[in-house]
Amino acid sequence: MCSLARHAISFGVPPNAISVEGLEKLFPPARSGWRAFLQPFEKPTVPALAGISFEVRPGEALALLGANGAGKSTLLRILATLLLPTRGRAHVAGYDAVRNARAVRRQLGYHAGSDLGFYARLTGRENLRFFGRLNHLSTSVIAQRISQLAEQFNLGEVLDRQVRTLSSGTVQRLSLARALLHQPRVLLLDEPTRSLDAIAAAEFRRFLKSEVLRRGDTSLLFASHTLSEVEWLADRIAVINAGQLLACDTANALKQKAGTPSLEEVFLCLTGRATHATAEESAE
Amino acid sequence: MMRTLRELWAFFWRDLSIARTYRTVFVLEAIEALFGVAMFYYVARFVDSPQLQHALPQGGSYFAFSLIGFVFLDYLNAAMDTFDRSIEEARDAGTLEHLLVTQTSLPVILAGSAAYPFAMTTVRIAVYIAWGAVLFGFPLREANWIAVLAVLLATLLAFSGLGILSASYLLLFKRGNPAKWFLLGVSGVAGGMLFPISVLPDWLQLVARLNPVTYALDAMRAALLGGEGFATVWRPLAVLLAFAAVLLPLSMLVFAWALRRTKTTGTMMHR
């Protein structure tokens, strides 16, 4: 057991759902031609995360807000144990994401926000059963959870159809069902409504709020470009730019500090794009 | 232990369920096997002679000798292909990341991904030999089936190490399988597939003795054609298990290192 988890248990304090301290990630530079062959052995020099620190408390929803390439997905993938950080530490439910990756995976559900990630010729139910089994659920628990999630996600009619015949929106719901199948304490969502239409996205958000967050036993860290989604779902918002954490607070606090009623303006102001945007608007 | 078996079964069931959606493939493969066996039978009829039969290790027909060599080439091919193909397919379908965020360990994911392809290759070999026995007089009466099973299992373990090494290469370099081409090439010449290694020059015989395929074929021919039991096949069997004892842990270490490297470079999902 890692030191944070032991400490938390010995003092009876639940550990933070997520705790990130001075997290840095460097990638090797992209190469082309024959040098691409050596890329796996290149020294990482291109920064994606530059010393990020924050926490997500138990039951809290934290949104990661940033432009493309800001480092949101990199951060989520480190927490999901799919990437190794260059420096710094990341803990999920008290477990170190590098040293105790398996314990971390037990605590989290991961949804990458794409409609890939399923076996297209298997049915939704067969896919969920397979991933349930790999998450060490018994046959009866898998059946029970699938029926619960199918009802909550309105998947009942499509669950026995091959995934290749389902719409993007339905596959997204199926993907979230998979992430929740083993009742994780922490849910990591990377642009969860990216390929959903407006109605499906609204339903998806409503579901997250009413069925996942309301219970208070699941913490949520999600990346999104949709400001209304961020504002509606998140208790706090972390604004990231070029791998750095610029601010992390409630939407109201961020607006107050920036002196503006709009989250969009807060974002533009914090990321230094406000001047650019204003200049463009005046030019128009 | 039970949990691991359940996980392995889940992989097997996944692949079987997918394969069931392509039903005609089973029929087409059985027909393909028939043509393959017929081709070997007629080539053997053309080249067979008392001198040739005398030169073969079990003294049987060239048809039986070469058919075993050919079906084992299929086994070797499957071992070298299975692991990297399963990684490649998982990467292309986007399931690789979702497999890696489950609680199932990496060795079980690898073994599970290979379970169905190996089982199907074994079935395919059985179909080849069954066609040979039913239509072309492949001699099965002498076979020692327990020794045959033991040789198959030892071969599978020895070849799996090579397959996992090949998958590690794929993880790092994204395309190609040089180990497969090298080993298949070497085995075609110095593995005793279609001719006994005694016809090779001394230095190539030495190469053949370093190749697990040679031992697998020696043991399989002895058990299947000669009806030999463990008293005879223990030697090639021990060599195969020694290959497995070295290659399997080594390949798992290399694969874990390669995976760690892709987690460092962020290239796991790159194609």
| A78-101 pLDDT, tens digit each | 999 999 999 999 999 999 999 999
Residue A229 distance to chain B (closest CA, Å): 25
**CB-based contacts of B80, cutoff 8 Å, min separation 6:** B159, B162, B163, B166, B177, B179, B180, B183, B184
Name the amino acid, one letter, at A105.
R
Q: How many domains does the structure of chain A reveal? A: 1
Q: Which domain holds residue B101?
A: 2-265
Handedness of CA A29, A30, A33, A39 (dihedral sign): positive
Average pLDDT on B110-139 reads 89
B53 vs B195: CA distance, rounded Å? 11
Predicted-complex ipTM score: 0.84
Rounded to two decimals, the pTM is 0.84
User: What percent of chain B has pLDDT above 70?
Assistant: 98
- On the CB side of B247, CA atoms within 13 Å amount to 22
pLDDT at A279: 47
With respect to residue A212, please indicate whether it lies within any of the assigned structural domains. Answer: yes
A169-202: string of b/e by CB count within 10 Å (b at 16+)?
Answer: bbbbbbbbbbbbbbebbbbbbbbbbbbbeeebbe
Residue A266 included in any domain: no
> Over the Cα atoms of chain B, what is R_g?
20
Does residue B4 sit at the A interface (CB-CB below 8 Å)? Answer: no
A162's CB contacts (< 8 A; 6+ apart) are A120, A121, A122, A123, B21
Is the residue at B271 inside a domain?
A: no
Q: How far apart are CA B240 and CA A82, in angstroms?
A: 35
Whether residue B199 is predicted with pLDDT greater than 50 in this model: the reply is yes
Assigned domain for A77 exists: yes
Return the CA Rg of chain A: 20
The total of structural domains in chain B comes to: 1
Output the pLDDT for position B195: 86
- For A185-217, the three-class secondary structure string (H helix, E strand, C coil) is CEEEEECCCCCCCHHHHHHHHHHHHHHHHCCCC
Q: B267: nearest CA in chain A?
A: A40
Report chain B residues whose CB lies below 8 A from the CB of A117: 93-95, 97-98
Which residues of B are less than 8 Å from A80 in CB distance? 97, 101
Q: Which whole number is the average pLDDT over B8-19?
A: 93
pLDDT number for residue A274: 59
The mean per-residue pLDDT over the stretch B198-204 comes to 89
Instruction: Kindly state whether residue A39 falls inside one of the protein's structural domains.
Output: yes
Confidence bin at B45 (pLDDT 50/70/90): confident
Burial label for A215, CB within 10 Å (0-12, 13-18, 19+), is exposed
Cβ-based contacts of A168 with chain B (< 8 Å): none
- Smallest Cα–Cα separation from B153: which of B246, B248, B241, B245? B241
Q: Does a structural domain hold residue A51?
A: yes
The pLDDT value given to residue A275: 52
Residue with tokens 């009866």: A140
- A40–B267 C-beta distance less than 8 A: yes
CB-defined contacts A:B, below 8 A: 96
Instruction: Give the best residue of A92, A134, A162 to mutate against chain B (max B CB count within 10 A).
Output: A134
DSSP state of B96: H
Torsion angles phi and psi, residue A8, rounded to 5: -65, -40
CB contact under 8 A, B21 and A44: no
Q: How far is Cα B208 from Cα B186, in angstroms, rounded to an integer?
A: 8
pLDDT of B208-220, one tens digit each? Answer: 888 888 999 989 8
A98, A89, A80, A101: which is closest to A23 by C-alpha? A89
Looking at residue B229, what DSSP letter applies?
Answer: -
Q: What CA–CA distance (Å, rounded) separates A186 from B173?
A: 33
- Summarize the confidence of residues B10-27 as an average pLDDT: 89
For A38-106, give the DSSP string: GGGGSPP-EEEEEEEEEEE-TT-EEEEEE-TTSSHHHHHHHHTTSS--SEEEEEETTEETTTTHHHHHH
Q: What is the pLDDT of residue B103?
A: 92
Chain A residues contacting B, CB < 8 Å? 27-28, 37, 39-40, 42, 44, 48, 74, 77, 80-84, 86, 102, 105-106, 108, 110, 112, 114, 116-122, 126, 129-131, 133-136, 162, 178, 182
Give a yes or no: residue B99 inside a domain. yes
Let me know if residue B270 belongs to a domain.
Answer: no
Question: A98 lies in which domain range?
Answer: 3-249
Residue B190: pLDDT band (50, 70, 90) is: confident
3-state DSSP assignment of residue A12: coil
B38-48: average pLDDT: 86
| Minimum distance, in Å, between the CA of residue B176 and any CA atom of chain A | 12
Nearest to A82 among B10, B103, B263 (CB): B263
Asked whether residue A259 is domain-assigned, the answer is no
Cα nearest neighbour of A35 on chain B = B173
Range of weakest confidence among A209-223, B102-116, B146-160, B238-252: A209-223
Write the CA distances from B173 to A38, A172, B48, B88, B271, integer angstroms: 9, 31, 45, 12, 9
Mean pLDDT score across all residues of chain B: 86
Low-confidence ranges of chain A (pLDDT < 70): 1-14, 35-36, 115, 273-284
Residue B261 inside a domain? The answer is: yes
Contact B10 A136 (CB under 8 A): no
| A263 within a domain of the structure (yes/no) | no
CATH code: domain of residue A235: 3.40.50.300
Give A-chain residues touching B260 at CB under 8 angstroms: 84
Q: What is the pLDDT of residue A199?
A: 82
Element (DSSP H or E) covering residue A7: helix A3-10
CA distance B150 to A19: 51
In a domain, A184, yes or no: yes
DSSP letter, residue A135: T
Distances from the Cα of A271 to the Cα of A222, A233, B205, angstroms: 19, 22, 69
